[in-house]
Amino acid sequence: MAVGIFDSGLGGLTVYDAVSKRLPDVPTVYFGDNAHAPYGVRDADDIFNLTTKSVERLWEAGCDLVILACNTASAAALRRMQESWLPDDKRVLGVFVPLIEAMTERQWGDNSPPREVAVKHVALFATPATVSSRAFQRELAFRAIGVDVEAQACGGVVDAIEDGDAILAEALVRSHVDALKRKMPNPEAAILGCTHYPWMEDTFQAALGEDVKVYSQANLVADSLGDYLERHPKMLGTGTESMFLTTGDPKTVSDRATQFLRRRVEFISA
């Protein structure tokens, strides 16, 4: 009955942590493609090929349902996967939709026509690949009208977080917020469009100001997954064991993940 969670690196651990607390009885298999991280600077074909290979490994671990806890993969690969690659008995879900539903105050699965919403000026912080894909804007357009989105590609932030360089990460976040505010001086809401960014949420909030509502993904995705599984219980796979898989060096990845989650995590080679 396992569920898979995939990320190019360690950012998806924010989603894993929320899912494990929201669904403690569901075994979870986490896959980090750390050998090829970050995805945010890769082209769409490369992201698609790496993502599908990783998802197939999660299927081998008994996960019929996989969450792409990676905004870059969700933006650059998910639609193509769902339209031309995914078998009928498997599901792959992204992380954009739960966040957009929360921002536009929609219930899960509400596919009514787009309508006016309260928030009109939205700042999007994401990787270069996510920004160039315009996937967030596309999904938002299905649900809301009249919303101005200003996107800021946050180069270097993921690398700094993965390397454990908090000082550099904070400096980069403040620089990217400053760049965004030069284009959109008064955003009403901000989307942290990368699962690494929740570790920097306080820095984003401080740089944006307390009057800007910051939307982070982990808990929203966990709640959406719980709702999905209530509606589709057959999508729980055959896996019975929780585990952490990586394409990188297991010891290095385990040590970094332990620092992030503040509890011991042991990765094994995928």
Residues known to be catalytic: 70, 194
**What's the helix, strand, coil split of the chain in %, to 5?**
50, 20, 35
103-107 long-range contacts (CB < 8 A, ≥24 apart) are 103/189, 103/191, 103/215, 104/140, 104/143, 104/144, 106/143
C-alpha span between 51 and 73 (Å, rounded): 7
- Residue whose token pair is 């999905």: 228
Collapse the DSSP code of 56 into the 3-class scheme (helix H, G, I; strand E, B; otherwise coil) and give the result. helix
C-alpha span between 143 and 140 (Å, rounded): 5
Collapse the DSSP code of 244 into the 3-class scheme (helix H, G, I; strand E, B; otherwise coil) and give the result. strand
